[in-house]
Amino acid sequence: MAGAEDGPGQQPELDEDEAAYCRRWGAQHAGARELAALYSPGKRFQEWCCVVLCFSLIAHNLVHLLLLARWEHTPLVMLGVIAGALIADFLSGLVHWGADTWGSVELPIVGKAFIRPFREHHIDPTAITRHDFIETNGDNCLVTLLPLLNMAYQFRTQSPEALEQLYPWECFVFCLTIFGTFTNQIHKWSHTYFGLPRWVTLLQDWHVILPRKHHRIHHVSPHETYFCITTGWLNYPLEKIGFWRRLEDLIQGLTGEKPRADDMKWAQKIK
């Protein structure tokens, strides 16, 4: 599925294998249509609430971090940015792997709300490019609310001296939550081959965020590798040590559950 290497800042054309893949697994697939229909008004309302609250907290916390910034914090802040990106990448892979590999759309509450988008994505990978900002980012905003709320609480209750001591840690947590919040937006960009801003394609080409060519590897059926979708930095080392396969073998041995059974069920729907 991997075509020629994309040039810096360029919008690549799909090769023949990729075009055939999109024709086979697309919006007209029976499973994709059924899964898309499960997106409910209640889910939409939850996403709106999470996005509004999340970005309000991001703005609040960013203002306080800027007011507390000192030049002597720079080395630890830079370390926090890198550590935040790495941990966010690993956590994105862990969540992605878990939702891709285990569970079912029929599970109460979490099935339709959180597992459904992962099933839809494998049989209609371009669906994410048709989702608006709210649908794309609502779930990630929900996940990052707790650390953002805790950070806002610290800024409101701690003394200036305590905040001075906590500053490098709070910068790390903030960077982690920013990468986490925007993970699915970055994922969406990795599937968007036309019309991306140049600054986005440059970040992809420099591998600051998940590159398009890199993410194609995950979309080779049965979707069992390269799960990290924030920066993608950890995909190669985790694959080299067989991290996901070893974890699947352990869980299957303990529970008897077969990995990706529900995923294959939706892919095989023909009516």
Give the global pTM.
0.82
Cβ(210)–Cβ(229) under 8 Å?
A: yes
Q: Is residue 72 part of a domain?
A: yes
d(CA 141, CA 52): 9
> Tell me, what's the pLDDT at 18?
45
Number of domains in the chain: 1
Peptide bond into 259 cis (omega under 30): no
Per DSSP, the residues of 243-270 read HHHHHHHHHHHHH-PPTTHHHHHHHT--
Q: Is residue 11 part of a domain?
A: no
CA-wise closest residue to 263 among 220, 216, 222: 222
CA 62 to chain centre: 22
* Element housing 230 (H / E): none
d(CA 155, CA 171): 12
Per DSSP, the residues of 70-125 read -GGGHHHHHHHHHHHHHHHHHHHHHHHHHHHHS--TTSTTHIIIIIHHHHHHHH-T
CA-wise closest residue to 262 among 114, 126, 129, 125: 114
Angle between helices 198-205 and 183-190 (to 10 degrees): 90
Q: Is residue 6 part of a domain?
A: no
d(CA 192, CA 68): 38
Hey, how many other C-beta atoms are within 10 angstroms of the C-beta on 258?
12
Domain assignment of residue 87, given as a range = 24-258
d(CA 103, CA 156): 40
Q: Is residue 33 part of a domain?
A: yes
Secondary structure class of 210 (helix, strand, coil)? coil
> Tell me, what's the pLDDT at 3?
38
Q: Is residue 187 part of a domain?
A: yes
Q: Tokens at residue 126, please?
A: 């371009």
CA-wise closest residue to 139 among 48, 257, 267: 48
Identity of residue 85: A
Q: Is residue 85 part of a domain?
A: yes
Q: Tokens at residue 37, please?
A: 């229909």
Q: Tokens at residue 22, please?
A: 């999109």
d(CA 53, CA 39): 21
Per-residue pLDDT 10s for the chain (271 aa) are 333 334 444 444 444 444 444 444 555 554 545 555 556 788 899 999 999 999 999 999 999 999 999 999 999 999 999 999 999 999 999 999 998 888 888 888 778 778 888 877 777 788 888 889 999 999 999 999 999 999 999 999 999 999 999 999 999 999 999 999 999 999 999 999 889 999 999 999 999 999 999 998 988 877 789 999 999 999 999 999 999 999 999 999 999 988 887 766 655 554 4
Cβ(1)–Cβ(21) under 8 Å?
A: yes
> Tell me, what's the pLDDT at 94?
97
Q: Is residue 7 part of a domain?
A: no
Q: Is residue 76 part of a domain?
A: yes
d(CA 162, CA 156): 12
> Tell me, what's the pLDDT at 29?
52
